Amino acid sequence: MAVLFGPFTQLVTHPEARLRGPLMDEELVVIPEGGILVREGMIQAVGPFAELSRAFPHARAGERGATGPNVVMAGLIDCHTHLIFAGSRARDYAARNAGKTYQEIAAAGGGIKDTLRHTRAASDDELLRLLRQRLDRHLRSGVTTVEVKTGYGLSVAEELRMLRLINRAGERHPAAVVPTCLAAHLVPPEMPDERTWLTTILEEIVPVVTAENLARRFDIFVEQGAFSVPAAREYLLALKERGFDLTVHGDQFSVGGSQLAAEVGARSVDHLEVSGAAEIATLAASRTIATALPGASIGLGCAFTPARKLLDAGAALAIASDWNPGSAPQGDLLAQAAILGTFEKLSTAEVLAGITFRAAAALGLSDRGRLAAGQRADFISFPTQDYREILYHQGSLKPNRVWISGSPII
């Protein structure tokens, strides 16, 4: 049975916009009094509501929700988060603002290791409760697909526990959850060196991930104090051989990660705050998606990823929240993407692409992120009559309605 949703004051999307390079606002398709025809959770047609109701007279009327103006767009996609953790790093935040650096705090046993202690000590129920709470908050902000990384377990048993919990939360939550194994976040305190830990992951974690189908993607933090380029290269190539999708935390404080990501054909490389001309050129010439994480720039008080330069060079730019207790505690994807847009002079079309179909591509997904026939019927509406208001309010205008697979969730 087909269901026709609408009319919406405006329907805004990029049905055919390209994956790479700059996008002009003229390339956005804005349909006044638009409608969406859904069948079995997928979009069958998008267009003027009146035309769709004439063409599909037997379609059931979908719930339109609140009265008043509303602008509908594709559900947001957050392609980089660390949402499974316990504890708070408010102390680190205050210490950084009082003059200590992220690396100094980490070297003194704070940082990721502090979250590691709290996360390991938390029960399954507690971690599930915290994760669900964060997924709920994201859903209310319009995020319908969420990538969630491990990385605060950092032992074989704890990393597998995190992956199982992420999967369990995903099965029970309306949002689509994409798990990623970031066992290579740091060398665990119990391990002698990086190669020993990476070998342990390959020998003891990867076979269980495969057997239990716990994740299709692996990530690594390439950075001084985390993993070196040569060790990361071997690790990523071994994972590629086993058929996994790759992603890299790269060029956050020092360069190296982005070049490696492009070399091994990673789906994405995320951070890129210190990428220069050479790194930008490499990414533009590669198929790897460049993901900006403005929440980490805001959280650490660092420069933003050179998003404008990346786009102008021809790279594909996704924007994600990096929501985590340390560098990016704020967690509001839409607010962060809007703010990145103001600093980097990104068009509305580029920002919206970065948190929809370009973010989907960073996850290897082509079935979402646009309002178009054949896409998942994940869409959100905002109580306004002008799509430009969505970014203009810099995150303070929240969706008043969220649909997932054609079902109203909020």
Residue 332 binding Fe ion, by CB under 5 A: no
Instruction: Answer yes or no whether residue 220 interacts with ligand NIG by CB under 6 A.
Output: no
Minimum CB distance to Fe ion, residue 80 (Å): 6
Q: Helix count (H) and strand count (E) of the chain?
A: 17, 16
Choose the contact partner of 160 out of Fe ion, ligand NIG, none; CB within 5 to 8 A by kind. Answer: none
Give the up-direction half-sphere exposure of residue 240: CA atoms within 13 A in the CB hemisphere.
15
The yes or no reply on residue 322 touching Fe ion (CB under 5 A) is yes
State the burial class of residue 301 (Cβ atoms within 10 Å of its Cβ: 0-12, 13-18, 19+). Answer: exposed
Output DSSP code: residue 98: T
Q: Is 275 an interacting residue with respect to ligand NIG (CB under 6 A)?
A: no
What's the maximum distance between 2 C-alpha atoms anywhere in the chain?
69
Q: How big is the chain, counted in residues?
A: 410
Partner from Fe ion, ligand NIG, none contacting 327, C-beta within 5 to 8 A by type: ligand NIG
Nearest residue to ligand NIG on Cβ basis: 326
**Does residue 296 bind ligand NIG (CB under 6 A)?**
yes
Instruction: Give the pairing type, strands 60-61 and 2-13.
Output: parallel
Please report the DSSP string for 342-365 in residue order: HHHT--HHHHHHHTTHHHHHHTT-
324 is an interface residue for ligand NIG by CB under 6 A = yes
Coil, strand or helix at 260:
helix
Q: Give the CA distances from residue 244 to residues 47, 267, 394, 409, in Å, rounded to whole numbers and listed in that order.
A: 38, 10, 36, 32
Asked if residue 273 binds Fe ion (CB under 5 A), the reply is no
Mode of pairing for the β-strands spanning 143-149 and 42-48: unpaired
Using the contact rule CB under 6 A, the part of the chain among 206-214, 229-237, 255-263, 319-327 near ligand NIG is 319-327
322: contact with ligand NIG by CB under 6 A: yes
Of 64-72, 200-208, 308-316, 324-332, the segment contacting ligand NIG by CB under 6 A is: 324-332
Handedness of CA 129, 339, 287, 248 (dihedral sign): negative
Token pair 């290897």 in the structure block, residue = 364
- Select from Fe ion, ligand NIG, none the partner in contact with residue 142, using the beta carbon and a kind-dependent cut-off of 5 to 8 Å: none
Annotate each residue in 230-249 with x if it binds ligand NIG (CB under 6 A) or - if it does not, as one string.
Answer: -------------------x
Q: How far is the CB of 253 from ligand NIG (least distance, A)?
A: 8
CB of 380 to ligand NIG, least distance (A): 26
Of these, 75, 257, 326, 329, which contacts ligand NIG (CB under 6 A)? 326
Specify whether the CB–CB gap between 308 and 347 falls below 8 A.
Answer: no
Rule CB under 5 A: which residues touch Fe ion?
322
Rule CB under 6 A: which residues touch ligand NIG?
82, 111-112, 115, 221, 249, 252, 296, 322, 324-328
